[in-house]
Amino acid sequence: GGLVNQVGSVNSPTADTPPQAPSDTDNFSYTTSQTQTQTVGFTEVTPDLYYSGGHLGTLHIPTLGVNVKVFEGTDSTQLAKGAGHFTDTSIWAGNVCIAGHNRGTNCYFGNIHKLNAGDSISLTTRLGTRTYAVTSVEKINVNDSSGTASTTDNRVTLYTCVMNQPEYRWCVTAIQQG
């Protein structure tokens, strides 16, 4: 418990960060103070992206034997069914952020802190399947939401609680391969 509304999207753009993505596009551009244009990926969750079971996709982590359905939202109802997609983050292009329990009946993310650089994670949605390679595993402060920011690369960011340390979360970042 406790993960539910503790990590959220960073929505306060500065001169060097992208504004929140428009809802009608998968990519948009912004200009930094150094006058470089970068494309930030973002795909909004729309009704046509749901499977008949009410989930948005399936997350597969072969190293850990995890194969879990991903539902929209990170509240206790959604996490009781599987993993939860952070509502203010992309579901395909850019940074897809997903939370899961680390203990109890649905402890799909119980061992994500044991992942190593290069370990594979795949996400299948109605838009296709992407495979990502783990680039970092970090213990972060419960109030650190920087990992949910939009990105120019395609990545998946996983969050779960740290057992018996409510002030921390595990944050795993994996970037698209190929």
Active site residues: 101, 161
Could you tell me the CA-to-CA distances from 28 to 18, 23, 38, 150, 151 in Å, in that order? 9, 10, 8, 11, 11
Neighbouring CB atoms inside 10 A of 53's CB total 9
Using only C-alpha atoms, the chain has a radius of gyration, in whole angstroms, of 15
Nearest to 44 by CA among 106, 88, 107: 88
The C-alpha atoms of residue 102 and residue 116 are separated, in whole angstroms, by 17
